[in-house]
């Protein structure tokens, strides 16, 4: 396995075309299909996997080169990418790259705003509860900037967000928030910050409302047109982020073979089209959906 991992990592992505369908052997004799193929997309080379074969999975020890093949494409040279993927149940880090780097997160800032807001509402007050649920739902599901900025104002500003999130284990040095929506490029945050929020909201106040407010891949909100007819459809629950030169996706993935996965992918790439960044981000998530235990 060490020989194979070394071989995968040493491939020159600018010169080698991986052939779809050739097997890669991993632990315990498991076999997975080759992770990526070099294709042309809008005159830009990106690495995408071959058509999904649902009977084949990816072992955890092959995941790193699989993801690297995607985001190390020559198309993304000079960009700033941060990725963190963890098992929600075991807290094992499945993949990490620049996970503590501060990047522009676009609308992923709404995760900060809504998670903090949910620490303040009274579920026993039915009127307050119903109002808060609707505000949170519209803010995250539809990525409504007005709702998000008004919500931050109601909270009392970014310092109150810090006061509310720090007790949940969210490191205040991992982000700088200036608005509730993420429209400002002065917002910065790390993938580790969003993973910490997502983890905390599994058990924090309002966790169920928070989870249900997230767009679902191929089904609802800002993800309704993504992940359709793939193994990730209906299983990805995540917040999108979009600015010129910025794409982000942070959330949960229900993997029936491996269990619940939490992830954050932030891409700051002003010289590449947004569609190309989205393709790469979605391909990373699709590979996570194929993850399977191999021991």
- Of 87-91, 107-111, 167-171, least confident by mean pLDDT is 87-91
Q: Say if residue 231's pLDDT is above 60.
A: yes
d(CA 190, CA 100): 5
Whole-number average pLDDT of the chain: 84
Q: Say if residue 71's pLDDT is above 50.
A: yes
The answer to whether 264 and 30 are in contact (CB under 8 A) is no
Count other C-beta atoms under 10 Å from residue 21's C-beta: 12
Does residue 3 or residue 115 have the better pLDDT? 115
Q: List CB contacts of 68: < 8 A, sequence separation 6 or more.
A: 9
The answer to whether 267 and 78 are in contact (CB under 8 A) is no
| Sequential DSSP letters for 232-294 | TTTTEEEEEEEETTEEEEEEEEEETTTEEEEEEEEEE-TTS-HHHHHHHHHHHHHHHHTB---
Q: List CB contacts of 199: < 8 A, sequence separation 6 or more.
A: 86, 88, 169, 262
Q: Say if residue 201's pLDDT is above 60.
A: yes
Backbone phi, then psi, for 44, in 5-degree steps?
Answer: -125, 130
pTM of the model: 0.82
Q: Residues of the chain with pLDDT > 70: what percent?
A: 78
List the domains of the chain with CATH numbers. Answer: 62-289 (3.40.710.10)
Q: What integer pLDDT is reported at residue 255 of this predicted model?
A: 95
The alpha carbon of 223 is separated from its chain's Cα centroid by a whole number of angstroms, namely 12
265-274 residue pLDDT tens:
999 999 999 9
The answer to whether 197 and 84 are in contact (CB under 8 A) is no
The answer to whether 222 and 143 are in contact (CB under 8 A) is yes
């Amino acid at each position: 396995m060490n020989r194979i991992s070394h071989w995968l990592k040493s491939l020159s992505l600018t010169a080698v075309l991986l052939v779809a369908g050739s097997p890669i052997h991993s632990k315990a004799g498991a076999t997975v299909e080759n992770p990526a193929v070099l294709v042309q997309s809008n005159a830009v080379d990106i690495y995408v996997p071959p058509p999904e074969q649902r009977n084949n999975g990816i072992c955890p020890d092959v995941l790193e080169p699989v993801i690297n093949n995607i985001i190390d494409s020559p198309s993304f040279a000079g960009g700033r990418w941060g990725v963190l993927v963890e098992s929600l149940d075991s807290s094992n880090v499945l993949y990490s790259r620049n996970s503590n780097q501060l990047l522009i997160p676009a609308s992923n800032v709404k995760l900060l705003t809504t998670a903090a807001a949910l620490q303040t509402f009274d579920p026993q007050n039915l009127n307050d509860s119903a109002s808060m649920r609707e505000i949170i739902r519209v803010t995250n599901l539809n990525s409504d900037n007005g709702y998000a900025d008004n919500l931050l104002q109601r909270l009392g500003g970014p310092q109150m967000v810090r006061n509310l999130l720090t007790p949940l284990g969210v490191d205040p040095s991992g982000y700088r928030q200036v608005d509730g929506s993420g429209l400002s490029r002065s917002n910065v945050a790390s993938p580790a910050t969003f993973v910490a929020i997502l983890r905390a909201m599994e058990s924090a106040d309002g966790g169920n409302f928070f989870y249900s407010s997230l767009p679902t891949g191929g089904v609802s909100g800002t993800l309704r047109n993504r992940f359709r007819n793939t193994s990730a459809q209906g299983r990805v629950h995540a917040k999108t982020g979009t600015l010129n030169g910025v794409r982000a996706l942070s959330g949960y993935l229900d993997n029936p073979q491996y269990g619940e996965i939490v992830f954050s992918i932030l891409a700051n790439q002003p010289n590449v089209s947004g569609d190309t960044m989205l393709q790469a981000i979605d391909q990373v998530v699709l590979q996570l959906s194929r993850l399977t235990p191999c021991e």
